[in-house]
Structure 1
Amino acid sequence: MNDLTLSEQLRHFGLSEKEVDTYLAILEQGEATASEIADVTGVSKRYVYSISEALEDRGFVDVDDHVVPTKIWARPPEEVMATLTDELAVMEPALSERYSRTERDVQQFDVVKSRVTVVKRIAEFISAADSELTLSVPSEHLTEVRDELQEAVERGVLALVLVNDTPPSGFDIEEVDGVATVVRTWEHATPLILTVDQQYGVVAPVEMVARSNTDQRAIAFAQQQIVPVLVGSFMGNYWSMADEVYIAEPRSLPAEYRSFRHAVLDATLHLRDNRPITVEATVTPSSGDPDHKTLTGTVVDTYQGLIEPMTNDFPVQNTLVVELEGGRVTVGGPGSFLEEYEASKITLTPQ
């Protein structure tokens, strides 16, 4: 480290330019008088006394004013660093407490530079999940967000988790019991991808998750136009390629669903177990008619790509086929365009 860089680093600890010059001069001398330091730094002897007292208060030097002339010693650098470390350690709890109170809102696009911040942001987003999330995470890092995932599942959130870069020896299914709704595994490494409630997302390259000393960057964002695209990429490029290893039991009915995908998943599981179900949904016609109406009928089939065997025609298709008095209709979730109706609220009931 050259002198310029060292000076800049010392100023980060609150030293002024003159204090840095004085301290470096004392370091080089080891022991010196105020006059000697004044000659080296080009400041007055009185100013050297003042600066030396400030440096002594910070633990950088020792000043002996009981001798004439006054002697100034540089303290061993390891002791100085220990003092600075202790100061930072004392500050950390107070800083953390204040930071938690003043957590800033997520920007539309936020470049994240450190692995620690990426993990923190992912944990925050999962904790805020209300209806559904998708997550692709390396197997060795699943434990870092395990608690947040478990709490999300307990809140009724649909959690589709792809555990990637799994070891050749296999994957212990007990690791995901209770922390996801559906789990797939893949031996290949993929980018870390998180989407939450069709609103928040995080994308991080593999290198950034695996290593702390990388120049790679992650992106966290809050963009309702972008998240559905990312979900489509997740479902089409990664989810469909992985192996299904775990499916949680469907919710007991009757149940109201905040996630349409979750309703399709549970309807699929109930139908496969020969348990007839009825759906009641608040819908609008996909043709563009803005009028809402309540649709009630029997669910007779589903089109989905959440679990095997997949029955959809494209990755993000999730459809309920409903038998009404006048015939069968198809119902999709928010933003659907192939189905006849788009549902905004949905309840499943045993028949």
Structure 2
Amino acid sequence: MDDRTLNDLLRRFGLSDKEVDTYLSLLAHGEAKASTVADAAGVSKRYVYSVSESLAERGFVEVNDHVVPTTIRANPPDEVINRLRSDVDAIRPGLEERFSRVERQTEQFEVIKSRVTVIKRIRSLLADADSEVTLSITAGHLPEIRDALVEAVDRGVLVLLIVSDAPEVTDEIEGGLDGVASVVRTWREAMPTLLTVDSAAGVVAPPELLRRSNTDRQAIHFSQEQLAPVIVGSFFGNYWPAAEEVATAPPTPLPVEYANFRHTVFQATLRRRAGETPRVTVGGRWTEDDEPAEVSGRVVESKQGMVEPTTNEFPVEHSLVVETDDGETVTVGGQGAFVEDVEADLVRIEADEDGSEEGEKTEDDTDEAGDE
């Protein structure tokens, strides 16, 4: 390797021209006094001392200041290279994390201009769903994603589905509604296609894009945890109450565990309306002081808006009232809970083996008694 190339490569590691000259002079001598290096590099002796300390900090040389006069020794090239390689490896994770962060940011939004791509993105997101799906889709396009919905339900995903632009008789919907969702509602009006998966990603598409091939309307595919809950809130607040409930899946066999709290509330509600009093073990935190919480007891009330009759006071309220073994009453909410006593991370639902189901009033019974 010629001197110019070597100098250029050393400068890439942050060495100045004078530092390169000093270091190469030391390599030529192996070990030498500062005055010797100064003469060879064409710099002052004081500069050699200063540069040597900098080179020593980076592992290029070793300064022997315990002898008189002080000598400076170049470290073996293999040792220097291993040190540089170790430094490069150390910064790799930080560089890669920042690079991937930029990639994620650029992938947060995708503009979609065709119906085919919208359906493709919906299928892909449904295939990746782990815990929860909220979806509105027109009756005419439901058959195109029906299999993906059935598979999600079979995996234990909570699927809340609105079929819009639906016929008066649901039997006329191609393929039927069996097994496509945990709860199905229909609406005769056409509405936007709204999809959220695990409150982290989704699709928003205007009705015109799925109806016509010659429209200039566009859809958005997003992957942003800050946006998805907003879409979920709009789904529950603006569209879900306007649609009519037409099908509800049976409760899942017990025991079962959920990290998704809405699914917990849904299953507990179905059990109570079947005349049972499910028992839960809740792991999470106390909202008052942020300390870890573990609560066990019987579910005596659920506040929810997923199945009729709804019992929540506002659209996104989904919570449980638990009577503990000590006779205390504790309210439990999901992620971000602040009104309830406990924010749940994981809930196990079991049958109440000791509880008597006879004569117990469910929420439905209470509502009917009030009507009378």
**Which TM-score band applies after superposition, normalised by the shorter structure?**
0.5 to 0.7
* Separation of aligned partners in 1, 2:292 and 2:328: 20
* Separation of aligned partners in 1, 2:302 and 2:172: 30
The correspondence of residues 296-335 of structure 1 with structure 2, limited to 5 A, is 296-324=296-324, 325-335=326-336
Match of 2:39 in 1: none
Match of 2:133 in 1: 133
Per-residue displacement from partner, 1:1-58 (whole Å, max 9, x unpaired)?
Answer: xxxxxxxxxxxxxxxxxxxxxxxxxxxxxxxxxxxxxxxxxxxxxxxxxxxxxxxxxx
Q: CA deviation at 1:315?
A: 0.7
- What is the identity, as a one-letter code, of the residue corresponding to 1:272? R
Match of 2:262 in 1: 261
* Separation of aligned partners in 2, 1:328 and 1:209: 49
Mapped contact 2:196–2:202 kept (Cα < 8 A): yes
> What is the total number of aligned residue pairs between the two structures?
247
The alignment partner of 1:156 has SS state of: coil
Q: CA deviation at 1:128?
A: 0.4
Match of 1:223 in 2: 224
CA RMSD of aligned residues (A): 1.6
Match of 1:146 in 2: 146
Question: Mean Cα displacement is larger for which, 238-247 or 320-329?
Answer: 320-329
Q: Is 1:177 equivalent to 2:199 in the alignment? A: no
Match of 1:37 in 2: none
- What is the identity, as a one-letter code, of the residue corresponding to 1:293? A
User: Which TM-score applies when normalising by structure 2?
Assistant: 0.64
* Separation of aligned partners in 2, 1:118 and 1:251: 31
Match of 1:233 in 2: 234
Per-residue displacement from partner, 1:83-116 (whole Å, max 9, x unpaired)?
Answer: xxxxxxxxxxxxxxxxxxxxx9782111111111
Among the aligned pairs, what percent are the same residue? 50
- What is the identity, as a one-letter code, of the residue corresponding to 1:162? I
Which 5+ residue runs of structure 1 have no aligned equivalent? 1-103
The correspondence of residues 1-351 of structure 1 with structure 2, limited to 5 A, is 107-172=107-172, 175-287=176-288, 289-324=289-324, 325-351=326-352
Mapped contact 2:233–2:315 kept (Cα < 8 A): yes
Question: Mean Cα displacement is larger for which, 123-132 or 336-345?
Answer: 336-345
Larger Rg: 1 or 2? 2
Q: CA deviation at 1:168?
A: 4.0
* Separation of aligned partners in 1, 2:182 and 2:157: 8
Mapped contact 2:293–2:342 kept (Cα < 8 A): no
* Separation of aligned partners in 2, 1:188 and 1:150: 24
The alignment partner of 1:166 has SS state of: coil
Per-residue displacement from partner, 1:132-162 (whole Å, max 9, x unpaired)?
Answer: 0000000010011001101000000000000
* Separation of aligned partners in 2, 1:217 and 1:132: 25
Q: CA deviation at 1:201?
A: 1.5
Taking structure 1 as reference, are residues 172 and 266 closer, same or farther at Cα in structure 2, changes over 3 Å only?
Answer: farther
* Separation of aligned partners in 2, 1:172 and 1:252: 31
Mapped contact 2:170–2:176 kept (Cα < 8 A): no
- What is the identity, as a one-letter code, of the residue corresponding to 1:209? L
Taking structure 1 as reference, are residues 170 and 297 closer, same or farther at Cα in structure 2, changes over 3 Å only?
Answer: closer
* Separation of aligned partners in 2, 1:337 and 1:177: 37
User: Which TM-score applies when normalising by structure 1?
Assistant: 0.68
Q: CA deviation at 1:171?
A: 4.4
Which 5+ residue runs of structure 2 have no aligned equivalent? 1-102, 353-372
- What is the identity, as a one-letter code, of the residue corresponding to 2:132? E
* Separation of aligned partners in 1, 2:282 and 2:320: 11
* Separation of aligned partners in 2, 1:155 and 1:258: 14
Q: CA deviation at 1:234?
A: 0.5
Question: Mean Cα displacement is larger for which, 108-117 or 127-136?
Answer: 108-117
Mapped contact 2:285–2:292 kept (Cα < 8 A): yes
Taking structure 1 as reference, are residues 326 and 168 closer, same or farther at Cα in structure 2, changes over 3 Å only?
Answer: closer
The alignment partner of 1:316 has SS state of: coil
